[in-house]
Amino acid sequence: MVDPLPEMSTEQSDPRFSQIDRLPTEQIARLMNAADAAVPVAVAVAIPAISAAIDAIANQMAAGGRLLYVGAGTSGRLAVLDASECPPTFGTDPSLVQGIIAGGPDALTRSVEGAEDDADAGAATMAELEVGPLDSVVGISASGRAPFVLGAVTEAGRRGALTVGLSCNSDSPLSAASAHAIEVVVGAEVVTGSTRLKAGTAQKLVLNMISTISMVRLGRTYGNRMIEVSAMNSKLADRAARMVGDITGADLDTARKALDEAGGQAKVAVVMIQHGLDAGGARARLEEHGERLGDALEKVNGT
């Protein structure tokens, strides 16, 4: 059996970087910066595939499904990072977007030997999470061949879930196993095979798009504002007050008072001010309009 690893673009050695151990620090930094500049270009090539996957994911989530990221090593850490930012940014329940890393939480800070190679563990994780037809599972693997990720995506597909494969090589096994294949081919790394570099950056950029645009599609922003943010600390309270004031035209004192009465929920405070409602009435108004602030405000502005 021929080992495909040496043939993959992420495993190639770039001669431009073959003498970096002999170069001054600034020259190495400039080389790395130039290499990184190619990453957004590679992501741009994949935007049609990324967009199709996001639309499918948003439709699943609108019907009540979860978004589950699955990765190993750097890919798994990026998965957990992106998922963990959704509750504070978009006000989601922590169960809605989840990051799963091979080897479990211990693997976030240290290597867990053999975890990446356990396809059965990946499949078992999908069973433990009771993945079903409404869920979306995004497998993340720079090589596109991590067994844990392949096992998870294959089992998720068997259970009827929407499957997406994000890799940095062409024609990978992960792409073949997924309903939506996203391949961001960034080429050889500055340090040969160190896919935490360009490949990791590419994966982060794509995950930013998947989570952010899905939440926009679900109405969890108002324009480009984080309207679902809860004022749980002083920084967020100040940000929320300014946002409420900007949207409604109210002064900061009025915005802060409404936020206090709304329990720190910015979009509730906006509806309170715009419609002269108390917090309960504002929440009812939002529920009536599917929790979409824009729809609720348009309906009233048109009356």
- Catalytic annotation, residues: 85, 116
Contacts of 108 (CB under 8 A, 6+ apart): 76, 77, 80, 101
Six-digit token string for 229: 């943010």
71 pairs with which residues across the strands? 101, 140
> How many residues are there in the chain?
303
CA atoms of 94 and 88, how far apart (whole Å): 10
Q: Measure the CA–CA gap between 289 and 295, rounded to whole angstroms.
A: 6
Quickly list DSSP for the chain: ----GGGSGGG-B-GGGTTGGGS-HHHHHHHHHHHHTHHHHHHHHTHHHHHHHHHHHHHHHHTT--EEEEESTHHHHHHHHHHHHHHHHH---TTTEEEEETT-GGGGTS--TTGGG-HHHHHHHHHHTT--TT-EEEEE-SSS--HHHHHHHHHHHHTT-EEEEEESSTT-HHHHHSSEEEE----SBSSTT-TTTHHHHHHHHHHHHHHHHHHHHTT-SBTTB-TT-B--SHHHHHHHHHHHHHHH---HHHHHHHHHHTTTBHHHHHHHHHHT--HHHHHHHHHHTTT-HHHHHHHHHT-
